[in-house]
Chains A and B, each alone.
Chain A
Amino acid sequence: MIHNVPVLIPISLIFFAFFTGILGVMRLRYSQLVAVLASALAFSLAVWGTFHVLNNGELSYSFGNWPQPVGIEFVLDSLSAFMLLVITGTGLILLLFPTKPGFKIEEKRGVPLYAIVLLLMGGLCGIALAGDLFNLYVFLEITSLSTYALVSIGSGKAGMSSFRYLIMASIGGSFYLLGVGFIYFSTGTLNMADVMNLLPELYSSPAVIGGAVFIVTGVCLKMALFPLHTWLPDAHSYAPPVVAAFLAAVQIEASAYIIIRMLLNVFTPEFMARLLPLTDIIGWAAAAGIIIGSVMAIAQTDFKRMLAYSTVGQIAYVGLGIGLANPLGITGALLHIMAHALMKSCLFLIAGGVAHKTGITDINDYRGLGRRMPWTMAAFTVSALAMIGIPPTAGFFSKWYLLLGSLDAGNWAFLAVILASTLLNAVYFFRLIEKVFAPAEPSDASARHPGELSPRLLAPVLVFAVLVLVVGFISVLIVNNLLSPVVQGL
């Protein structure tokens, strides 16, 4: 049974997607319940799989029992297990958030909302588990299609943003496919492990180089790495809160995961070192992205837009870790994936909850909220401190590894960029913290709707905030058990 886990997770999610879709036509509320159950199931499977991997090593499942390298393979190794935990765990908590504030859906029965969400999660898990280049593309597109639909549910310019996002992400996907095509022509196989073995002989082939460039560039676009990030601010600001959380916390990370996977298991670091300074390019682009993202975030007045630009900066940290291409750097990148997933989700849920209760979306209107919503704002403070990188939150530990990685590589510029960005992040987050904890005036925007968020809104927020702290404390466990095996090859 355990051997079926790698395929069970995505397949079950997709199955439940259809099931929920049907239910959603009848009753939106039940569909949320089913979705929660489905993601809980996926999470349990992920946990089970993780333990198995920790004890016994990697798991692989061949679709239809076609042997390698002919068949499609799903692989669960440490890296996949880690990503699955992040995806299913975050997804589970996000799905607990009430529908109306989370998705800004009026009780439109016709929208099979949770079906699409489950499809999204299934696609993401599939990406994490794919052992095959084309299979990964399939799941990548499943993911993307779901996100286009979900983003367009939002209000205001959501439709337009979704359209733009669609165009750009499709370009990214096409590039990826093109790259895979080149690889296939050169090696004759689509299986990742196989490609890794066959590649060294083909280093001189221009097709392979071209393939690598296309693949990485395409995925970088989906990852919103500077300067390919321009679709992100719109998509994330106008999407409904939970959707934005899924995007920023999970989907972007999955794209980053793809690059890491490519780096580690397909195009080995040796390839990068000998032939193509791709990791260097990624690293420097990321460094720019960190600064630009943070600077643009400072300039924003809309809370969600601020978070969106912040995401550009944060995912660039992951890019920086990838760019360093040493064990510490990759560890930092992966840890940051987890940390960011938690922090950003918390923040977007807060944005949604506050907007739902008080209608406030502009950061200047956040004045005095600390008194009126103490628990929510406490969670906000924790997440904000984590984004800045203050110990003992999770955000600090990922930065620690990134800094060590930069030192290891002798890259003082990256070190300075990370430290400088801490200050930049502090500017826009502490500015908001200060507003939040200012005394409550009757003239505040929030005065008309006093009171804490309702428990159903508050619970997921608090869970994320607690996790931010907990993950910080247990980060060493995560690193030692899950992440070290991943980076050993470097």
Chain B
Amino acid sequence: MMLTEIVNSIPPALIFLAGAALLPLCSVRLRPLVFVALPVLTLLMIINLEPGTAAGITFMNLELVVLRVDSLSLAFGYVFCLISFFGGWYAWHLKEKGQQVAALIYAGSALGAVFAGDLFTLFVFWEMMLVGSAYLVWAGRTRFSAGAGMRYIIVHLAGGSFLLAGILWQFAQTGSIEFAHLQGASSYLILIGFAVNAAIPPLHAWLPDAYPESSVTGSVFLSAFTTKVAIYTLIRGFEGLDILIWAGAVMAVYGAVYAFMQNDIRRVLAYGIISQLGFMVAAVGIGTPMAINGAVAHAFSHILYKGLLFMSAGAVLFATGRSKLTELGGLARSMPAVFVLYMIGAVSISGFPLFSGFVSKSMEIYAAEAGHYTFVFLMLQVASAGTFLYTGLKLPYFIFFGEDKLVPIKPIPRGMYAGMGLAALSCIVIGIFPQTLYSLLPFQLDYQPYTVAHLWETTSLLIFTGLVFRLMLEKIKPKPAIILDTDWFYRRPAGLAYRMFVETPARVFTRVNDAVMQLVDWISGIAANPVGFMVYRTGKLKNRTHKAAPPAAEPAIFDPDRYRGSLGTMVLIVMAGFIIIGLISFVSS
């Protein structure tokens, strides 16, 4: 059929990207509608994609594969459309063109990246994602947004540079840019690039730095795309890499501990992302079919329930203007719906039965167990308990219960409820009918999440987490402080580095220029009018307060301007250098 042929040769990303270009031309009323329609269209397109397709074009002597369809890319494609759809409802009230366009560019590039079959295409979309997401960080307009956005950009560009270097190196060595399992020295550079986006410590600090400063609606998109594309690329390129197992386990616990310490709601959730990513990274490292299935399933559900959590946090922020636990409390009474929706997300992420986390996270843990990675298994379990602790217990307690700070709220737009409701629904549906998710996974395995043993383990874990929380409640009050993380290393010295590497060379250059300029002007002054110059000089020496302009013969001699280019002297010096080189070479030849 003609349509399927067309569909199978165009990357679905183009719908979003075309939408991004056309959206500004739509009227204000029309824009949310268009925004929401785009993922629907894309989803229809994706459904018609046939696994095994690889649409390529030749470009710059490179065989590009701009569309590679298999169950792995399809799974990510579906969930990206879903979250864009939910996010579009959530952001219905948004009047700001910039954010809408940026979100579309971001989502579209993410789609492009997961359907890319070669490294060049991947890189193009990787960088495009950066542009869209950076805008969303800046859009938050908190006092930290500007700086956080800059750091976000620099860190990601640096990661992208490693990625590019690795790609080029691989291309130079093997002549291929195929995006498959990666090996060799060049793959380490690529791994660093992927690791930055996957927020693997110590390269993770950008995430809790930038995400809490992004806009209310932007954070929903941010949480969904960059990191999950990175997980996808890790699965594609590095499955079974042992070091990832340990990195992931450490990440999971690290994220959980840091999440627990935070005061800003969205920073808690941001570290929560890192913790959850740890599960996925570890699973990628384990590499067995069950583990990969687990990683994909977890990524899928995580996008949805993390999206829901950011949506609710955003709703709280929108309604109260605050996002710090120390400033919130007692909102259950005034925002009951948000509370309920939040809790659905929270119990999903914690792995409660009947919700999506229960049927997805467990696969990863099971894979760890099956592979006899006992210590990793235990770390992941502890991290799971921790997840419930900070997302399901501490956070809702201090936002919705606890000390009632009598915070004035303003009503939140209906679109937000719609978005949250849809996301919550998806968490429940997947939880009750896990087959809907399982049918999308790369490997068709026989995994039964609802076993007595699993239910029992999860229940005991969760109940006792809750008990400990209750017991320790007095000791866990939030504090208005920040916790230093690895970004200290480049943030603390930032001012110093700026002075060292930018201001000082600039000052040195201009001092040299000034000195040379002085010399040159003296020379030209003497040459132009020797007598007059001598008169002027002696006159100045006698009369220290002489400030008048020099005699007409030499205009603007002592122009104290800085940053002045030097005159011939500098050139002559370098000429001399070249001549010397020339002489040396001819003498030696």
| A–B contact via C-beta, under 8 angstroms | yes
Q: When A275-B589, A385-B131, A437-B135 are in contact, do A296 and B509 touch as well, CB less than 8 Å? A: yes
Contact present for B503 and A299 (CB under 8 Å): yes
A416-448, CB < 8 A from B: 419-420, 422-423, 426-427, 430-431, 434, 437-439
Binds A, one of B237-245, B444-452, B574-582: B574-582
Out of A217, A277, A388, A396, name the residue touching B575 (CB < 8 Å). A217
Task: Flag B470-511 by CB within 8 Å of A: 1 or 0 each.
Answer: 000000000000000000000000000000011101100100
Q: In terms of DSSP, what is the predominant structure of the interface of chain B?
A: helix
Q: Does B536 contact A (CB under 8 A)?
A: no
Q: Does B60 contact A (CB under 8 A)?
A: yes
Q: How far is the CA of A446 from the CA of B172 in the complex (A)?
A: 49
Contact present for B567 and A168 (CB under 8 Å): yes
Out of B123, B135, B578, name the residue touching A217 (CB < 8 Å). B578
Complex interface: chain B residues within 8 A of A164 (CB): 565, 567
Q: How far is the CA of A418 from the CA of B574 in the complex (A)?
A: 25
A442 nearest CB across to chain B (Å): 16
Q: Does A370 contact B (CB under 8 A)?
A: yes
Contact present for A437 and B138 (CB under 8 Å): yes
Contact present for A230 and B513 (CB under 8 Å): yes
B22 nearest CB across to chain A (Å): 14
Out of B161, B169, B570, name the residue touching A407 (CB < 8 Å). B169
Out of B128, B502, B568, B582, name the residue touching A295 (CB < 8 Å). B502
Q: How far is the CA of A419 from the CA of B160 in the complex (A)?
A: 9
Q: When A296-B509, A403-B168 are in contact, do A422 and B582 touch as well, CB less than 8 Å? A: no
Out of A172, A232, A275, A385, name the residue touching B565 (CB < 8 Å). A232
Contact present for A296 and B505 (CB under 8 Å): yes
Contact present for A276 and B568 (CB under 8 Å): no
Contact present for B570 and A438 (CB under 8 Å): no
- Given A164-B565, A171-B571, A209-B585: 14 more A-B contacts, CB < 8 Å: A161-B565, A168-B567, A206-B586, A213-B579, A230-B565, A230-B570, A233-B565, A234-B564, A295-B501, A298-B502, A370-B98, A419-B165, A423-B161, A430-B134
Complex interface: chain A residues within 8 A of B168 (CB): 403-404, 407, 415
Q: Does A160 contact B (CB under 8 A)?
A: yes
Q: Does A292 contact B (CB under 8 A)?
A: yes
Q: How far is the CA of A77 from the CA of B171 in the complex (A)?
A: 31
Jot down 20 A-B pairs with beta carbons below 8 A, ordered by A.
Answer: A160-B556, A167-B567, A209-B586, A210-B579, A235-B565, A275-B589, A296-B509, A298-B502, A388-B157, A390-B128, A404-B171, A415-B168, A419-B165, A420-B161, A422-B157, A423-B158, A430-B153, A438-B146, A439-B141, A475-B60
Complex interface: chain B residues within 8 A of A160 (CB): 556, 559
Q: When A213-B579, A217-B575, A295-B502 are in contact, do A233 and B60 touch as well, CB less than 8 Å? A: no
Contact present for A295 and B505 (CB under 8 Å): yes
A155 nearest CB across to chain B (Å): 15
Contact present for B565 and A403 (CB under 8 Å): no
Task: Flag A263-294 by CB within 8 Å of B: 1 or 0 each.
Answer: 00000000000011100010000000000100
Q: Does A157 contact B (CB under 8 A)?
A: yes
Q: Does A59 contact B (CB under 8 A)?
A: no
Please, which residue of chain B has its CB at the minimum distance from the CB of A406? B168
Task: Flag B545-589 by CB within 8 Å of A: 1 or 0 each.
Answer: 000000000001001010111111011001100110110011001
Contact present for B172 and A404 (CB under 8 Å): yes
Contact present for B585 and A275 (CB under 8 Å): yes
Q: Does B370 contact A (CB under 8 A)?
A: no
Complex interface: chain A residues within 8 A of B171 (CB): 404
Q: Does A337 contact B (CB under 8 A)?
A: no
Q: Does A408 contact B (CB under 8 A)?
A: yes
Q: Does A204 contact B (CB under 8 A)?
A: yes
Q: How far is the CA of A228 from the CA of B363 in the complex (A)?
A: 64
Out of B123, B172, B568, name the residue touching A391 (CB < 8 Å). B123
Contact present for B567 and A296 (CB under 8 Å): no
Contact present for A391 and B153 (CB under 8 Å): no
Q: How far is the CA of A475 from the CA of B568 in the complex (A)?
A: 39
Q: In terms of DSSP, what is the predominant structure of the interface of chain A?
A: helix
Q: Does B340 contact A (CB under 8 A)?
A: no
Contact present for B131 and A390 (CB under 8 Å): yes
Please, which residue of chain B has its CB at the minimum distance from the CB of A208? B586
Contact present for A419 and B161 (CB under 8 Å): yes
A204-260, CB < 8 A from B: 204, 206, 209-210, 212-213, 217, 221, 227-228, 230-235
B contact residues vs A (CB 8 Å cutoff): 24, 59-60, 98, 123-124, 127-128, 130-131, 134-135, 138, 141, 146, 149-150, 153-154, 157-158, 161, 164-165, 168-169, 171-172, 501-503, 505-506, 509, 513, 556, 559, 561, 563-568, 570-571, 574-575, 578-579, 581-582, 585-586, 589
Q: When A404-B168, A476-B60 are in contact, do A426 and B154 touch as well, CB less than 8 Å? A: yes
Complex interface: chain B residues within 8 A of A439 (CB): 141
Please, which residue of chain A has its CB at the minimum distance from the CB of B565? A230
A309 nearest CB across to chain B (Å): 10
Contact present for B568 and A168 (CB under 8 Å): yes
Complex interface: chain A residues within 8 A of B503 (CB): 299
Contact present for B128 and A391 (CB under 8 Å): yes
Q: How far is the CA of A226 from the CA of B577 in the complex (A)?
A: 14
Q: How far is the CA of A206 from the CA of B585 in the complex (A)?
A: 9
Contact present for A426 and B157 (CB under 8 Å): yes
Out of A212, A221, A390, A476, name the residue touching B127 (CB < 8 Å). A390
Contact present for A210 and B582 (CB under 8 Å): yes
Contact present for B169 and A430 (CB under 8 Å): no
Out of A168, A277, A298, A419, name the residue touching B164 (CB < 8 Å). A419
Complex interface: chain A residues within 8 A of B165 (CB): 403, 415, 419
Q: How far is the CA of A168 from the CA of B564 in the complex (A)?
A: 13
Q: How far is the CA of A168 from the CA of B579 in the complex (A)?
A: 18
Q: When A390-B128, A434-B150, A437-B138 are in contact, do A175 and B575 touch as well, CB less than 8 Å? A: yes
Complex interface: chain A residues within 8 A of B582 (CB): 209-210, 212-213, 276
Q: How far is the CA of A157 from the CA of B513 in the complex (A)?
A: 16
Q: Does A98 contact B (CB under 8 A)?
A: no
Q: How far is the CA of A295 from the CA of B33 in the complex (A)?
A: 45
B366 nearest CB across to chain A (Å): 40
Q: Does A199 contact B (CB under 8 A)?
A: no
Complex interface: chain A residues within 8 A of B566 (CB): 230
Q: How far is the CA of A475 from the CA of B564 in the complex (A)?
A: 38
Q: How far is the CA of A438 from the CA of B128 in the complex (A)?
A: 21
Please, which residue of chain A has its CB at the minimum distance from the CB of B101? A378
**Interface-centre pick from A213, A277, A476 (highest chain B CB count, 10 A):** A213
Q: Does A198 contact B (CB under 8 A)?
A: no
Complex interface: chain A residues within 8 A of B158 (CB): 423
Q: What are the 5 closest A-B residue pairs judged by CB atoms, nearest first?
A: A230-B565, A419-B161, A391-B124, A213-B582, A299-B506
Out of B130, B561, B565, B589, name the residue touching A231 (CB < 8 Å). B565
A261 nearest CB across to chain B (Å): 20
Contact present for A423 and B154 (CB under 8 Å): yes
Complex interface: chain A residues within 8 A of B559 (CB): 160
Q: Does A360 contact B (CB under 8 A)?
A: no
Q: How far is the CA of A438 from the CA of B149 in the complex (A)?
A: 12
Complex interface: chain A residues within 8 A of B98 (CB): 370, 437
Q: Does A466 contact B (CB under 8 A)?
A: no
Contact present for A426 and B153 (CB under 8 Å): yes
Task: Flag A292-330 by CB within 8 Å of B: 1 or 0 each.
Answer: 100110110000010000000000000000000000000
Contact present for A168 and B153 (CB under 8 Å): no
A412 nearest CB across to chain B (Å): 9
Q: When A160-B556, A230-B570, A296-B509 are in contact, do A476 and B59 touch as well, CB less than 8 Å? A: yes
Contact present for B565 and A295 (CB under 8 Å): no
Please, which residue of chain A has its CB at the minimum distance from the CB of B559? A160
Please, which residue of chain B has its CB at the minimum distance from the CB of A302? B563
Q: Does A392 contact B (CB under 8 A)?
A: yes
Complex interface: chain B residues within 8 A of A408 (CB): 172
Q: How far is the CA of A182 from the CA of B154 in the complex (A)?
A: 50
Q: Does A196 contact B (CB under 8 A)?
A: no
Q: How far is the CA of A391 from the CA of B556 in the complex (A)?
A: 47
Complex interface: chain A residues within 8 A of B164 (CB): 403, 419
Q: How far is the CA of A374 from the CA of B23 in the complex (A)?
A: 14
A138-184, CB < 8 A from B: 157, 160-161, 164, 167-168, 171-172, 175
